[in-house]
Structure 1
Amino acid sequence: MASTTIEACNKGKMRKYSKLLEFENFASPDCHQSMCGSFRENIRIFLQDVAELEDYTVNGMPIWCILIVSEHNGVFPLYTIEETVQHSIHPFCDHCKLSGWGHHYVSKRRYHFIIPAKENRNKPLKGNFSELQNHNLHGLIHCNGYGHLICINGFKEKSIFDNGSDIMDLWDRVCTTLKAREISVSDVSKKGEMELRLIHGVAYGRSWFGNWGYKYSGGSSGVTEQKYDTAIQILNSLGLNKIINDFKNDDKGMEIKKIIDKYRELSEKPLITISDLLQYIIANPCRYESKTGDSPISFRTFVNLLAKGDCRWAARRLEHVLVVIIKLLKEHKDNNLDRKCGMSRHELREEARKSIGDTGLIDFVLKSIKSFAVNSQIIRRTINPSTRLVEFTIHDVVKEAEGLKWPISTIDSGCRYSRNKLEQAAKVVVNILKEHRDIDSMARQELRDRARECIRDTGLIDYVLKSLDNAIVGNQIVYRSRNPITKRIEFALESVTNQGSIENFEIISSTLDNEVGLEFE
């Protein structure tokens, strides 16, 4: 039975040649100075120096394995498969035809570089390896030095890597060290429904792959490089004031203006063009929320919005699911001493399935929840800062708020700060927490550093942070707690509401999820 090198290492078997290479230094030119020839010569030296021949083949083709270790990504294999004309099912390269290299003769050998998906990294490669699209990395280089980046999956849950930049850095070092002549890539990546190359093109004047030297080669019919560059220049030079003016009479004009104004408020530098705006969003991947995002809507309003939208379930069934969810969250809260402890989406879904048979209905409701209130309690959907999982929480905000206040009246008699200074500093802290509401909580040190940008007196900041413990500032409750994992002091924010005002919240959007804008990895 075939076994991989990484599988053997995990089982502790002794191999004649098995060493781990550091990810940060792997395939760097300084480590392989002997590779000064052409690609066909360098690949032989490379495999001989750092790779180990596997004890199995795929369709008669030999496989080499290189084990790479990373502090963040653990140990993972990089496989190299040598495909020859004799063993190839497709001797002609379709990727060359798409890249305009159809005039090249078929090469005698080509090399596949593959980092398999996370769940397959301990398994031997199969004969259909070239057809799979779930590899973390699949690159191909012909022995003449021309190659193709076939697929890269560095953004998904099944990926070994935290982001796509890490895997692209690795691929770029391999191509540079082995002296590849030219590499093509078909840029079809998307962010939601938007072409990623358009977002980055408008923001930076180049695609995301342009960070590693990839340039425009060919587009759809009739699109030349000059036309493409001209279109990008026109788009990224569009002024934000002009965009606001052009859409002022449109249905979404007011929302567009709010988005632009919000990011201008957050940015330290002036945002003049749409290029400036997208660059800021990419560099600061926080979610913009309209003002209704901070305030919960009532239970009845929430049910009505669900039923009126694109929904195939009756209102009474939606209401039943919400009642079950509220009951589960209450029971979970009663069983946990930590007031801020929530239930993960998966945990809540599995518990709800015991009472509701329609999982599609449960998923629809959970996806729609943003923030709603019932009686004196508020149910919210948040992101756990430690696990990065979606969680649902329930808070008795009105009851908690009754006994809380900003402790100005109880300050020490020897305090050297005036009431006005303390209030101003507290408002600065609350505003910072509002800007970072999407991360659920903020470490004390990070909050302190941000406050120093507005307040020079660090002693004043420390005094205020020490005093803000379950305290009300304006219409916000500031919570201070210790993270059980990191052991650090963290601060979180909760809006103070009352039952009388919940029914009067303005509903700007017909959708339940008021998040607008873009999220980036």
Structure 2
Amino acid sequence: MSHLDLFGSKKRKRGERVFKFKTFGEQGYPVDWGGTFWQNVESLLEFGNLEGDLCCGMASWSFQLEVHRHPPVHVLLFVVEEPMEVSLDRQCKHCQFVGWGHHMICNKKYHFLMPSKDTVVACLNYHGRPPDSTKAQPNLVELQGHIMHGVFHSNGFGHLLCVNGLEMGSGLPGCQIMDFWDRLCSGLQARKVSLNDISQKKSMDLRLLHGIAHGEPWFGRWGYKFGRGTYGVTQSMYQKAIEAIQSIPLSLLVHHLGNSNHEISIIFSRYQTLSGHSLATLGDLFHFMLELKSRLPKESCVDSYNSRILVEKSCRWSPKRVEMATRVIVEALKRAEFRWVSRQEVRDTARAYIGDTGLLDFVLKSLGNHIVGNYLVRRSLNPVTKVLEYCLEDVSNACLNDHEGLTTSDSKTKARYMITRVQLMKDMFYLYKHVLKEQKTTMTWGILATIPLASRIILDTKYLIKEHCGGELKVQVGIASKSKIYCTIVLRKDNNDVDERLQKVMAPYECFALNSNTTFDELKTQVEQRFRRLYWGLRSFVVQSIVNLNVKGSDLVFGLVEVGGKVVFEGTNVGEIGIIVSEDIFEGTQNKCVMNCGCGAKDNDGERMVSCDICEIWQHTRCVRIPNNQEIPSIFLCSRCEQDILLFPCLP
């Protein structure tokens, strides 16, 4: 993603400010995050470059972020403002799936996205089209495959829609993207952020692997926890499933599966030998494997006890001569005491022993980021001198060749238990496939029946939520004359009838910084303006009274309410009869369909569903045994309606 530029370097503004990717979102970078969410967004956009028509009439800003200076690598962050007036989908399906369908629709959404190469190409192709082309303009928000795409509602609730790391060709590791996203959410003072965890590694679901190994999903390292399970899964079910599958004894698995699958016994033995402590359970094994993976070199390595590098058949030097030159170069680097040495310096030292300079050049070229013995030969271009430099890195601990039971003289035993990252991933996938996923007949009874059931529950827990803050405003230091108070509203259908659903689910509290002499009339005006600004269904909202507080408009707020206290206002929308009772003011589709699935689910959780053609009750297709690869039948009857039909008397 070097020098990522959406419209070509000539169209970018000269002197455009470049921000550090690794500090963007921290306090002061680029703004002092001191307000509520929507205030922080507005402050941030002042530092962005206003872009052209990228998103079909929606305003957008860009930020150029520097990932590395040497070599220069940049990415672009786009912020797109989506007003409800131009939104194609007024109601948010992500809110509904995660359980926020009772939230009121906000006036605006803000999309934060980093385009990938593919999405950049799609936009470049459109802007490079002939003037008379009828090709439709791609909407940057709707394009799939971004490096990162997150969306916030203007009240501070948001959703992380996608993160695509190295495996998807983004050029950025997933952990760095998540670090950036987490800083951004914290800086903006987001309230809560959800995500749909479908992350995979080598076709393995990370929520299952990390759930067994660490008791939490991969996103758990950034504070994301159980939000909502699909297919009726509750948080208690999720925790019990993790504990059950973690505690499966390895000895029991070997006893029941070892006779029919010798590879499983070999894998267990391999990692038990490598481990410095006993691996008793399935949770211990996966925890050790993931920890070991993080310590192994990322580069492909050869046998750690064979100092030869890979030699092609067409190579004009024999393997023995290549091995000799490799040993000489590594010994020369050892004498440098692990400091960076220029290529010429290494070459000159090695020439005292190897006269063939062509052979030395070949080996130096081949040794870049290659493991020889217990050392990784690092190669890098010095950003200042533009000269290739080499350095040794001791990876003996990563390769785990000194563990108990492996004597230095028993090289054959060492080689047998030598492990590389490729081999480890292969072993992990084998266990994932044959122990966690495939339901063998030997795993359908006793304690082993726990594995497929617990795995299914963990995989059905996809919606995760992180609570960043409760919307509290960080009052700036030095403003002693202002104090904060929290306010929310309850809607009325008319002057005497309070909407029970709206009263039960109020809008999130908003923070107001008030002077000590602020009156309730002044606070009332601020509350009306704030909630009209935030919510699409409150554009004509008028406060009528205060709940459980008998006050006059001229009374001072802090004479009756403590600093940091909460006040609830009642009101209605004047002049827009019908909008209050309309379901369209909510993010979810309230009472438009009835769901009563056998798994216990009562709300739409985003999984595929089918409706009975008689009672019109919705159920999951999986729960009524319609495979995912099979189309939903044109006529479907639930089991209850089928039973009722069978009880009908026969016609004469």
**TM-score category by the smaller chain?**
0.5 to 0.7
1:95 and 2:94 aligned: yes
Task: Summarize the Cα distance change of 1:240–1:68 in structure 2 as closer, same or farther, 3 Å threshold.
Answer: same
**Counterpart position of 2:163:** 152
Counterpart of 2:145 (choices 131, 134, 138) is 134
Counterpart of 2:273 (choices 259, 265, 279) is 265
Counterpart of 2:287 (choices 279, 287, 298) is 279
Task: Summarize the Cα distance change of 1:450–1:238 in structure 2 as closer, same or farther, 3 Å threshold.
Answer: closer
Task: Summarize the Cα distance change of 1:339–1:67 in structure 2 as closer, same or farther, 3 Å threshold.
Answer: farther
Deviation of 1:272 (Å): 2.4
Deviation of 1:87 (Å): 1.4
Alpha-carbon contact 1:5-1:54 (below 8 Å) kept: no
Q: Give identity over the alignment, percent.
A: 31
> How far apart in 2 are the matches of 1:281 and 1:5?
36
Counterpart of 1:39 (choices 15, 21, 37) is 37
Deviation of 1:6 (Å): 3.4
Map residues 317-328 of structure 1 onto 2, 5 A cutoff.
none
**Counterpart position of 2:313:** 333
Deviation of 1:151 (Å): 1.0
> How far apart in 1 are the matches of 2:179 and 2:119?
22
**Counterpart position of 1:115:** 114
Task: Summarize the Cα distance change of 1:203–1:83 in structure 2 as closer, same or farther, 3 Å threshold.
Answer: same
> How far apart in 1 are the matches of 2:203 and 2:12?
47
Task: Summarize the Cα distance change of 1:476–1:192 in structure 2 as closer, same or farther, 3 Å threshold.
Answer: closer
Deviation of 1:225 (Å): 0.6
The one-letter amino acid paired with 1:96 is C
> How far apart in 2 are the matches of 1:451 and 1:164?
25
> How far apart in 1 are the matches of 2:393 and 2:52?
53
Deviation of 1:516 (Å): 3.1
Map residues 280-429 of structure 1 onto 2, 5 A cutoff.
280-285=288-293, 333-334=313-314, 336-337=316-317, 339=319
Counterpart of 1:174 (choices 184, 199, 221) is 184
What is the DSSP-based 3-state SS (H/G/I as helix, E as strand, rest coil) of the residue aligned with 1:75? strand
Alpha-carbon contact 2:83-2:108 (below 8 Å) kept: yes
Counterpart of 1:240 (choices 250, 269, 281) is 250
What is the DSSP-based 3-state SS (H/G/I as helix, E as strand, rest coil) of the residue aligned with 1:55? coil
Counterpart of 1:23 (choices 21, 24, 29) is 21
Deviation of 1:336 (Å): 4.9
Deviation of 1:444 (Å): 6.0
1:105 and 2:115 aligned: no
Task: Summarize the Cα distance change of 1:92–1:22 in structure 2 as closer, same or farther, 3 Å threshold.
Answer: same
| Residues 70-94 of structure 1 deviation map (CA, whole Å, 9 limit, x = unaligned) | 1288101000000001111111111
> How far apart in 1 are the matches of 2:197 and 2:398?
38
Deviation of 1:175 (Å): 0.7
> How far apart in 2 are the matches of 1:207 and 1:446?
32
Deviation of 1:515 (Å): 4.4
**Counterpart position of 1:376:** none
**Counterpart position of 2:498:** none
Task: Summarize the Cα distance change of 1:338–1:66 in structure 2 as closer, same or farther, 3 Å threshold.
Answer: farther
> How far apart in 1 are the matches of 2:65 and 2:258?
54
**Counterpart position of 2:223:** 213
Counterpart of 2:394 (choices 417, 436, 446) is 446
The one-letter amino acid paired with 1:516 is D
Alpha-carbon contact 2:123-2:138 (below 8 Å) kept: no
Deviation of 1:278 (Å): 1.1
Alpha-carbon contact 1:137-1:152 (below 8 Å) kept: yes
Alpha-carbon contact 1:271-1:277 (below 8 Å) kept: yes
> How far apart in 2 are the matches of 1:450 and 1:210?
25
Unaligned runs of 5+ in 1: 288-292, 295-328, 342-383, 389-428, 437-442, 456-460, 465-472, 478-491, 494-513
| Residues 237-284 of structure 1 deviation map (CA, whole Å, 9 limit, x = unaligned) | 2222232223234x11x2212101101111223322222211221122
Alpha-carbon contact 1:5-1:65 (below 8 Å) kept: no
> How far apart in 1 are the matches of 2:183 and 2:158?
14
> How far apart in 1 are the matches of 2:32 and 2:287?
41
Counterpart of 1:224 (choices 218, 227, 234) is 234
Counterpart of 1:194 (choices 176, 179, 204) is 204
Which deviates the most, 123-132 or 102-111? 123-132
Alpha-carbon contact 1:63-1:80 (below 8 Å) kept: yes
**Counterpart position of 1:516:** 427
The one-letter amino acid paired with 2:63 is I
Task: Summarize the Cα distance change of 1:452–1:23 in structure 2 as closer, same or farther, 3 Å threshold.
Answer: same
Task: Summarize the Cα distance change of 1:87–1:12 in structure 2 as closer, same or farther, 3 Å threshold.
Answer: closer
Alpha-carbon contact 1:118-1:160 (below 8 Å) kept: no
Deviation of 1:124 (Å): 4.3
The one-letter amino acid paired with 1:270 is S
Unaligned runs of 5+ in 2: 125-136, 297-301, 304-309, 323-365, 377-390, 420-424, 431-652
Alpha-carbon contact 2:24-2:30 (below 8 Å) kept: no
What is the DSSP-based 3-state SS (H/G/I as helix, E as strand, rest coil) of the residue aligned with 2:175? helix
What is the DSSP-based 3-state SS (H/G/I as helix, E as strand, rest coil) of the residue aligned with 1:333? coil
Alpha-carbon contact 2:20-2:65 (below 8 Å) kept: yes
The one-letter amino acid paired with 1:89 is L
| Residues 285-316 of structure 1 deviation map (CA, whole Å, 9 limit, x = unaligned) | 399xxxxx99xxxxxxxxxxxxxxxxxxxxxx
The one-letter amino acid paired with 2:148 is L
Deviation of 1:177 (Å): 0.4
Task: Summarize the Cα distance change of 1:237–1:73 in structure 2 as closer, same or farther, 3 Å threshold.
Answer: farther
Counterpart of 2:213 (choices 203, 207, 210) is 203
Task: Summarize the Cα distance change of 1:37–1:447 in structure 2 as closer, same or farther, 3 Å threshold.
Answer: closer
**Counterpart position of 2:460:** none
What is the DSSP-based 3-state SS (H/G/I as helix, E as strand, rest coil) of the residue aligned with 1:34? coil
> How far apart in 2 are the matches of 1:128 and 1:222?
35
| Residues 89-112 of structure 1 deviation map (CA, whole Å, 9 limit, x = unaligned) | 111111111111111221111000
Task: Summarize the Cα distance change of 1:454–1:227 in structure 2 as closer, same or farther, 3 Å threshold.
Answer: closer
Deviation of 1:224 (Å): 0.8
> How far apart in 2 are the matches of 1:446 and 1:227?
45
**Counterpart position of 1:65:** 62
The one-letter amino acid paired with 1:260 is F
Alpha-carbon contact 2:122-2:138 (below 8 Å) kept: no
> How far apart in 2 are the matches of 1:451 and 1:182?
41
Q: TM-score, normalised by structure 1?
A: 0.55
The one-letter amino acid paired with 1:147 is G
Task: Summarize the Cα distance change of 1:515–1:89 in structure 2 as closer, same or farther, 3 Å threshold.
Answer: closer
Deviation of 1:448 (Å): 6.5
Deviation of 1:474 (Å): 6.7
Deviation of 1:132 (Å): 2.7
**Counterpart position of 1:53:** 50
> How far apart in 2 are the matches of 1:385 and 1:180?
48
